[in-house]
A and B are shown apart, each in its own frame.
Chain A
Amino acid sequence: MAEVCLALAMIGLTAYAVLGGADLGAGFWDLTAGGAHRGGRVRGLIQRSMSPVWEANHVWLIFVLVVLWTAFPVFFGSVMSTLYVPLFGAALGIIFRGVAFAVRGQAATIAEARVVGAVFALSSVIVPFCMGAAIGGIAAGEVPEGNALGPPLDSWLNPTSILVGVLAVATGAYVSAVYLAADAVRADLPDLVEAFRRRALGAGVVAGALAIGGLFVVRAEARDLFDGLTSGGGLVAVLASAAFGIVTMGLVWTRRMAPARWTAAGAVACVVLGWAFAQSPDLLPGSLTLDEAAADDATLAALLIAVGAGLLVLVPSLVLLYRLVLRGTLDQRFEPLDQRYRPITAGDHPQEPRP
């Protein structure tokens, strides 16, 4: 049962990495979109695409935390107390990001829009980096079991951690560009399709290069992790991820954005899976195995029942949301967010109800 609970956490993490990561990646493109005028259309598409879904995407993170602390309480306590610096940083980034995003559509003047946009974009980079660095710290075996027993800085400022942090930013940007390109297709904005297609290809190359180069870093710095990634299930997952990545690039290259969404998600899922294989059977490499960390059977069973029952209502609801989104029912009108003065009535366009 411990394995099933771990799988739940992994599924949640994958969903967060893919969906939340795509939202965070959008922040990266916002940051790099260029000056107020030039970046206006890119920013407008980001605003429009993310508005209805970002909160639901974010809740995956809460799901992961909750499953971890219920099923693996000692693991949770050890990780949180040792990796407190990046995790506190991620938490602050999450606040800033959510609020700045909510505010951004309301900014009326260029000065306001600049400040809010910068906060949104910067925190979008900080959050994945901090989360990635924390995961890298766990994977590299820097977190011992116990109350804040690991080093507060070295546990996440080591080469492996930094690598995973940067990789998280890059993958988020990559997935996000693919999704935004697909959204631009739906919104009938060919110039933005091209803009994000180029970004997707660029980010895909960078993420791929980082992943391959990173293997050498991991080999030098965290030998156990490397061995796990290059043998057995770990190797299969890594290869599958690479394959998904290449297929995605091909689809983007040939402008087939809708299926590229799925293969991009597959590539990320395989990375998470590879990590799980590489570390198994340890949760905290070198100090805590999955079985030692797992809660009592009664708790694990209760968790599975609770989550299972929850999924029965959750899955149809999520399907409904994404169906409405992908059909364009919830779409707002596209407006470039070019940070000129916006009249205070902007964004309100009553329409006739659709039949």
Chain B
Amino acid sequence: MSAFLLAAAEVTGRLGEPAQEHLLWARELQAMSLAFHIPLVCFGIAFPAIVLFMEGLHLRTGDPTYKALAKRWSKVMLILFAVGVVTGTILSFEFGLLWPNFMATFGDVFGIAFALEGVSFFLEAIFIAIYVYGWDRLPRRAHLLTGVPIVITGVTGSLMVISVNGWMNNPVGFDVVNGDVVNIRPWEALFNSYFWHELVHMYAAGYMVAGFTVAGVYAFAWLRGRRTRYVRVGMVVPLTVACLVAPVQVVLGDWAGREVAEVQPVKLATFEGLPRTQSGAPFHILGWYDESDEEVKGAIAIPDLLSILAFHDPDATVQGLTSVPPDDRPGPVNVVRYAFQTMIGIGTLLALVGVFYAVVWWRRRRLPRSPWFYRLVVAAGPLAGIALIAGWITTEVGRQPWIVYGVMRVEDAVTDAGGLPVAFFVALAVYLTLAATVVWLLRRLARRPPDVEVGVPVEAA
């Protein structure tokens, strides 16, 4: 079994044991900040490639519609990047402000990843500025080339962050001797083999969130009768990307599930609310997990499905929650369960949307005609965003009570500083304002006629 059962090697941290009564506030604040940062990040991951594709189309055909879209989108990209940068900076502050003992104890183990991530963001910030402010000022080909680093740094940036998250879930690269973290091997921690499924799954999620959201904006205009070529192109390109990724995401999710089953069996039991270790474990849809009776109630049970999902074998044995003491089980089982089911539900629905779109295109060479399809596309962006957050809740709350799985508990990692509830509500107000501002800004941008981007009319029907 994994490091988990060797949990004798627990540490309380270099700054000593905190006596924080507001642990929950710290967790909620961290969760809120991440939940705000992550959807923005999806645009950092996926948008540059889509924008460059558009610009490439323009360079090949000379059609101003493509350029108007690419230029408009690059401005959106810049705004979202700016908000991503500041919310990300808040996160790096928060790591220290909320979890100083975690940083003091493990900062030297996983810090390299963040150093490399910092380099990525730096490059991203540089080239995004050159790209957006360089429209019509750099030679056309050179301009396209300055977009390439943005695409690459989008990949490397997320790779490094997620490597840290993978490490928190499957910590390697150090030894614990008498409660001390010693013998640190930072490169081993960086390339912990666990993060690949997280990276690829998150990457696909980025393409789904960004693709469906952008397509949804134009699908909305389409539904309202603005059937111009500009709107059509703006919808079809991101929609095609998202629809191709959506079915793949189900396969990637299955891969993620099997990795979790192997490395974090208790987390897997929490996904399902499986109380006792058993072979041929069932999967329960809906219902709730009753902590005192230790069973799932009011749910639809599908026999053997959990064993199949986790190990691809109907008779496989799946470890249950009661295999570890109550203190070592993730806190609110139902939060994790519902987050997991939400993600899977949405993932399945969006995969069906993708398949439907692909089939219509393949058989009939045209877009679906039903307005219901476009209504679904409008909803798909927010749904993908919900799945994204739900997925992270699954991963992060499912990791509880550990901040470093099996090694350090969150209650040992937290700050001893006061004022956490105040900080939470201040931050909440700030994030709400921020969200409102971003929406306002994007709507203001969208109200400008696309012609202003290229100086010639583009919106002819």
- Chain A residues within CB distance 8 Å of chain B: 51-53, 55-56, 58-59, 61-63, 65-67, 69-71, 73-74, 76-82, 84-85, 87-88, 90-92, 94-99, 101-103, 106, 108, 145-149, 152, 295-296, 298-299, 302-303, 306-307, 310, 313-314, 317-318, 320-321, 324, 329-330, 332, 344-345, 348, 350-355
Extra inter-chain contacts (5) besides given A53-B129, A71-B108, CB under 8 Å: A59-B121, A73-B104, A295-B184, A303-B115, A306-B112
- Chain B residues within CB distance 8 Å of chain A: 14-16, 18, 78-79, 81-83, 85-90, 92-97, 100-109, 111-112, 114-119, 121-123, 125-130, 133-134, 136-140, 149, 182-187, 415-419, 423, 426-427, 430, 434, 437-438, 440-441, 444-445, 447-449, 452-455
Q: Is B83 a contact partner of A102 (Cβ separation < 8 A)?
A: yes
Known: A62-B118, A147-B16, A318-B126. A299 touches B111 (CB 8 A): yes
Interchain residue pairs with CB less than 8 A apart (19): A53-B129, A55-B85, A59-B122, A70-B111, A70-B115, A78-B100, A80-B103, A81-B97, A84-B97, A87-B93, A147-B15, A148-B100, A148-B417, A299-B109, A332-B133, A344-B447, A345-B452, A350-B453, A353-B139
Q: Is A299 a contact partner of B184 (Cβ separation < 8 A)?
A: yes
Q: Is B83 a contact partner of A148 (Cβ separation < 8 A)?
A: no
Which of B93, B96, B112, B441 contacts A103, CB < 8 Å? B441
Known: A55-B81, A102-B441, A350-B453. A73 touches B119 (CB 8 A): no
Which of B90, B100, B112, B123 contacts A91, CB < 8 Å? B90
Q: Is B103 a contact partner of A73 (Cβ separation < 8 A)?
A: yes
CA distance A225 to B122 in the complex (A): 34
CA distance A302 to B109 in the complex (A): 10
Nearest chain B residue, comparing its CB with the CB of A56: B125
Known: A102-B79, A299-B108. A310 touches B119 (CB 8 A): yes
CA distance A321 to B97 in the complex (A): 33
Main secondary structure of the interface of B (DSSP, over half): helix
Q: Is A76 a contact partner of B107 (Cβ separation < 8 A)?
A: yes
Q: Is A56 a contact partner of B136 (Cβ separation < 8 A)?
A: no
CA distance A79 to B102 in the complex (A): 13
Known: A61-B89, A152-B417. A314 touches B122 (CB 8 A): yes
Q: Is A95 a contact partner of B114 (Cβ separation < 8 A)?
A: no
Q: Is A302 a contact partner of B186 (Cβ separation < 8 A)?
A: yes
A23 to chain B, nearest CB (A): 13
Nearest chain A residue, comparing its CB with the CB of B92: A65
CA distance A330 to B426 in the complex (A): 37
Contacts of A81 in B (CB 8 A): 15, 96-97, 100, 415-417
Known: A66-B111, A99-B437. A52 touches B89 (CB 8 A): no
CA distance A318 to B123 in the complex (A): 8
Known: A84-B417, A99-B434, A353-B137. A306 touches B115 (CB 8 A): yes
Contacts of A352 in B (CB 8 A): 136
Contacts of B95 in A (CB 8 A): 69
Q: Is A94 a contact partner of B90 (Cβ separation < 8 A)?
A: yes
CA distance A102 to B80 in the complex (A): 10
Q: Is A344 a contact partner of B14 (Cβ separation < 8 A)?
A: no
Known: A59-B118, A146-B16, A295-B184. A98 touches B103 (CB 8 A): no
CA distance A30 to B2 in the complex (A): 58
Q: Is A88 a contact partner of B18 (Cβ separation < 8 A)?
A: no
Q: Is A106 a contact partner of B118 (Cβ separation < 8 A)?
A: no
Q: Is A99 a contact partner of B445 (Cβ separation < 8 A)?
A: no
CA distance A32 to B417 in the complex (A): 36
Known: A103-B437, A152-B418. A295 touches B108 (CB 8 A): yes
Nearest chain A residue, comparing its CB with the CB of B78: A102
A83 to chain B, nearest CB (A): 9
Q: Is B97 a contact partner of A298 (Cβ separation < 8 A)?
A: no
Contacts of A310 in B (CB 8 A): 115-116, 118-119, 122
Main secondary structure of the interface of A (DSSP, over half): helix
B143 to chain A, nearest CB (A): 8
Contacts of A332 in B (CB 8 A): 133
Q: Is A80 a contact partner of B136 (Cβ separation < 8 A)?
A: no
Contacts of A79 in B (CB 8 A): 96
CA distance A106 to B443 in the complex (A): 11
Nearest chain B residue, comparing its CB with the CB of A96: B430
Known: A62-B88, A62-B92. A84 touches B454 (CB 8 A): no
Which of B89, B104, B109, B130 contacts A94, CB < 8 Å? B89
CA distance A253 to B448 in the complex (A): 45
Known: A66-B111, A73-B106, A296-B108. A58 touches B100 (CB 8 A): no
Known: A77-B14, A84-B419. A95 touches B448 (CB 8 A): no
Known: A76-B104, A99-B82, A307-B115. A56 touches B447 (CB 8 A): no
A13 to chain B, nearest CB (A): 14
A301 to chain B, nearest CB (A): 9
Contacts of B117 in A (CB 8 A): 66
Q: Is B85 a contact partner of A66 (Cβ separation < 8 A)?
A: no
CA distance A313 to B94 in the complex (A): 29
Contacts of A318 in B (CB 8 A): 122, 126
A149 to chain B, nearest CB (A): 8
Which of B126, B138, B140, B455 contacts A350, CB < 8 Å? B455
Nearest chain A residue, comparing its CB with the CB of B447: A344
Q: Is A62 a contact partner of B96 (Cβ separation < 8 A)?
A: no
Known: A95-B434, A146-B16, A321-B129. A106 touches B138 (CB 8 A): no
Contacts of A59 in B (CB 8 A): 85, 118, 121-122, 125
CA distance A351 to B444 in the complex (A): 23
Which of B16, B434, B445 contacts A106, CB < 8 Å? B445
CA distance A94 to B97 in the complex (A): 15
Nearest chain A residue, comparing its CB with the CB of B418: A152
Which of B14, B89, B418, B449 contacts A74, CB < 8 Å? B14
Q: Is B111 a contact partner of A348 (Cβ separation < 8 A)?
A: no
Contacts of B115 in A (CB 8 A): 66-67, 70, 303, 306-307, 310
A166 to chain B, nearest CB (A): 22
CA distance A295 to B86 in the complex (A): 28
Q: Is A77 a contact partner of B97 (Cβ separation < 8 A)?
A: no
CA distance A98 to B86 in the complex (A): 7
